[in-house]
Amino acid sequence: MRALFLLLVSCFFMAGSNAQGGHELWLRNKTSVPVSVVCAETSPTLSIAVQELKDGWHGKANASVTLSIVNDDAIKPDGFRISAASIRATTHNGILYGVYELLRRQQTGQSITDERINPSYKARILNHWDNLNGTIEHGFGGPSIFWHRDNSLAVSDKDRLIWKEYARANASIGINGTVINNVNANPLVLTKDYLERVKAIAGVLRPYGVKTYLSINWAAPKTIGKISTTDPLADSVINWWKAKMKEIYTVIPDLGGFVVKANSEGQPGPQDYGRSHADGANLLADAVKPFGGIIMWRAFVYQPNEKDRAKQAYNEFMPLDGKFRDNVIIQVKNGPVDFQPREPFSPLFGAMKQTPVMPEFQITQEYLGQSIHLVYLSTMWEELLQSDTYQAGKGSTVARVTDGSVYPQKISAIAGVANIGLDTNWCGHDFAQANWYAFGRLAWNNRLKSEQIADEWIRLTFSPETNTTAWNTGFLAPVKQMMMDSREACVNYMMPLGLHHQFSANDHYGPGAWWAPARMRSDWTPPYYHKAEPNGVGFDRTTKGTNAVSQYHEPLASLFNNPNTCPENLLLWFHHVSWDFKMKSGRTLWQEMCYKYDKGVQQVRGFQKTWDKVESYVDSTRFRSVQRKLRSQLTNAILWKDGILQYFQTFHHQPIPFDIERPVNNLDEIIANEFARRPSR
């Protein structure tokens, strides 16, 4: 009898779970109870809001909900006031966000009291690194949803459908903007035929409150115009951009603006003419000003000739504070180098006082296991947002210095490099959807806790229609724990204790601490970052080294400068220490490093066990896909451990502590196969 009951229960779970390969994301709720919705005004956005309420209502049956536009200075443009039976906002978009908030609370069992809710940032933007030929730079979820492989620009019903689903998913978590082409931009996107397609995309996204933005290639006046220079101070260039912006905004009048990668990794920029980033940004800012656009100018700039790549963005931009127009915002990656599994926060957060700065996260897991590893990135982003910059004394967290709480800002924004493609489940890995979700939630509320976000996401993505205690303890709790531990596990098996950029070649998947081909720029090779030698390891960024510590406010500068007060998880970022350096655990640095790598591997083994145990709660498509990927993740974690530890042994010849599992891969074989490590998706 009991067995039959369990069988029935698990059949119910299977049926209640999504058997469609995860395409519906966190919006898979299908049931609702009747509700009547009162809304005095009409618009495409309000129609969506009303329909969503009717389709997803989980509140009191036959309740009546009122949606109203009000005058209330305390409610910001996308904000709203909700109660169990009403949503009030100053804009139609605000109503839509209120609807999604109300539904999420109902569907996840959270309470609904009378509350006013405003977003942390005005612009909450995805950056797609999508090329116009349909490929995606570091995209692991299939080809582009915006551009076709065959370069065709014709807009099909299938295109419109996917853009609509995409817009809805974004709106449901508060994302209100998207940059639809790669920061390594093809200037053709600014030409007539492409702009027609941009217009079509913008038209589908608009009712969901999602604004379209574009990436600009600095050399566009030369490549698509007939101008011989791109000097930002040349009249010909100024006039070309003015005319171009007029043309663009005639086609798409509410385009949000532009992101620019200039003088970075070979991209052209104003410095080619001896001009500054401010000269470049201001030229574009003036050209978009009449149309209300903004310029997001990226601070990801570095030259091969500098001794410490981590210092360059700060050195370039600090002297320009106050020199930018008021519709420019500087887009800064979370860490000073490049989206590594762990970096300290970029010192550009909390540095400038008159220039707004926006965080850029990487949702696509270029450096964190791509679409193979299960890594929940919310904890990493929370770590950044909650880092204290001390700009205006204690409590000047990155969240507060970027959202306008510390200094008033005309624009505030946050960006995430999207992990979205045409794969059925959008992101390649079912759990990578959680990173899209978490980005939206943190962009909306930068004080949220990753645990709450994970809780919501799991409930919305996996839960059967009726939550049971069995589901809560058997599925929700262990899966949440796995997600919460996953980023630290990745740090442990890839680059613990402040190590960074230890990847092989350009693939950025497997280990490559030894990778340094002749003639390769040294700052693109791992030895530049680890600086291992017989006596020690790590990058000396102290006052005796490159002095990168001085880019941080006190007390951080002193704290980071001293190996005994520097947080151990950043030790080798800031210090070159002996292999025998004493760690807080009493172990030597070498021993500690071995235990960290081993711990990471053990954690992945633990994730496998967790996942296998929850099989009865998940549809078989998603179960098997995640199970397969966890196996590949473990294989890769072991390679990291075996590769990096054996490579470092070649410097100091100390044994791996004897209670740790011995390597199962030979270093020479790992090195020989380094280009063939990423399993096919």
Provide the annotated active-site residues. Answer: 265, 338, 366
What is the H or E stretch that residue 196 is in? helix 192-205
Annotate each residue in 358-397 with x if it binds ligand BDP (CB under 6 A) or - if it does not, as one string: --------x-------------------------------
Nearer to ligand BDP, 211 or 298 (CB): 298
Query: What's the CA gap between 494 and 572, in Å, rounded?
Result: 14
Nearer to ligand BDP, 366 or 456 (CB): 366
Nearer to ligand BDP, 245 or 368 (CB): 368
| Contact in structure between 65 and 86 (CB atoms under 8 Å) | yes
* 400 φ/ψ angles, rounded to the nearest 5 degrees: -75, -30
Smallest gap from Cβ 338 to ligand BDP, in A, equals: 5
Strands 257-260, 211-216: pairing is: parallel
Q: Between the CA of residue 250 and those of 34, 178, 255, 288, 327, what are the distances in Å?
A: 43, 19, 10, 12, 20
Answer for which of 183, 202, 288, 630 binds ligand BDP (CB under 6 A) is: 183
Cβ neighbors of 522 (< 8 A, separation 6 or more) are 304, 516, 528
Answer for which of 23, 138, 199, 206 binds ligand BDP (CB under 6 A) is: 138
Q: How far is CA 440 from the centre of its chain?
A: 9
Q: How far is CA 569 from the centre of its chain?
A: 21
3-state secondary structure of 334: coil
Q: Report CA Rg, the chain.
A: 25
Smallest gap from Cβ 138 to ligand BDP, in A, equals: 6
Smallest gap from Cβ 359 to ligand BDP, in A, equals: 13
| Residue 339 binds ligand BDP, judged by CB under 6 A | yes
Cβ neighbors of 14 (< 8 A, separation 6 or more) are 616, 619, 620
Nearer to ligand BDP, 506 or 666 (CB): 506
Nearer to ligand BDP, 147 or 462 (CB): 147
Nearer to ligand BDP, 366 or 674 (CB): 366
| Contact in structure between 391 and 351 (CB atoms under 8 Å) | yes
Burial of 334 (0-12, 13-18, 19+ CB in 10 A): buried
Smallest gap from Cβ 34 to ligand BDP, in A, equals: 49
Torsion angle defined by CA atoms of residues 417, 266, 510 and 531, in that order, rounded to the nearest 10 degrees: -120
Nearer to ligand BDP, 207 or 512 (CB): 512
Smallest gap from Cβ 366 to ligand BDP, in A, equals: 6
Query: What's the CA gap between 471 and 479, in Å, rounded?
Result: 11
3-state secondary structure of 171: helix
| Contact in structure between 570 and 491 (CB atoms under 8 Å) | no
| Residue 522 identity | S
Burial of 451 (0-12, 13-18, 19+ CB in 10 A): middle
Answer for which of 213, 300, 475, 617 binds ligand BDP (CB under 6 A) is: 300
Smallest gap from Cβ 127 to ligand BDP, in A, equals: 9
Answer for which of 261, 429, 500, 629 binds ligand BDP (CB under 6 A) is: 261
Answer for which of 24, 72, 137, 272 binds ligand BDP (CB under 6 A) is: 137
Which residue's C-beta sits nearest to ligand BDP?
A: 338
Please provide the DSSP assignment of 473-511 as one string. Answer: IIIIHHHHHHHHHHHHHHHHHHSGGG----B-TTT-SSB
Answer for which of 10, 118, 184, 467 binds ligand BDP (CB under 6 A) is: 184
Nearer to ligand BDP, 371 or 561 (CB): 371
Strand order in the sheet with 35-39: 35-39, 63-69, 86-89, 80-83, 115-117
Nearer to ligand BDP, 35 or 260 (CB): 260
Q: Is the peptide bond before 534 cis (omega within 30 degrees of 0)?
A: no
Strands 123-127, 413-417: pairing is: parallel
Smallest gap from Cβ 348 to ligand BDP, in A, equals: 15
Number of residues this chain uses to bind ligand BDP (CB under 6 A): 10
Smallest gap from Cβ 182 to ligand BDP, in A, equals: 8
Smallest gap from Cβ 198 to ligand BDP, in A, equals: 21
Write out the binding residues for ligand BDP, residues 264-283 only, by CB under 6 A.
Answer: 265
Write out the binding residues for ligand BDP, residues 140-179 only, by CB under 6 A.
Answer: none
| Residue 627 binds ligand BDP, judged by CB under 6 A | no
Write out the binding residues for ligand BDP, residues 426-485 only, by CB under 6 A.
Answer: none
What is the H or E stretch that residue 456 is in? helix 450-462
> Which of these, 262, 300, 328, 389, lies nearest to 123 by C-alpha position?
328
| Contact in structure between 487 and 479 (CB atoms under 8 Å) | no
| Contact in structure between 607 and 486 (CB atoms under 8 Å) | yes
Answer for which of 338, 456, 488, 523 binds ligand BDP (CB under 6 A) is: 338
Smallest gap from Cβ 339 to ligand BDP, in A, equals: 5
| Residue 503 binds ligand BDP, judged by CB under 6 A | no
Q: Kindly report the CA angle at 117 between 116 and 122, in degrees rounded to 5?
A: 140
Nearer to ligand BDP, 249 or 524 (CB): 524
Smallest gap from Cβ 115 to ligand BDP, in A, equals: 37
Cβ neighbour number for residue 165 with a 10 Å cutoff: 17
Nearer to ligand BDP, 25 or 281 (CB): 281
Annotate each residue in 95-134 with x if it binds ligand BDP (CB under 6 A) or - if it does not, as one string: ----------------------------------------
| Contact in structure between 674 and 515 (CB atoms under 8 Å) | yes
Which residues of this protein are in contact with ligand BDP, per CB under 6 A? 137-138, 183-184, 261, 265, 300, 338-339, 366
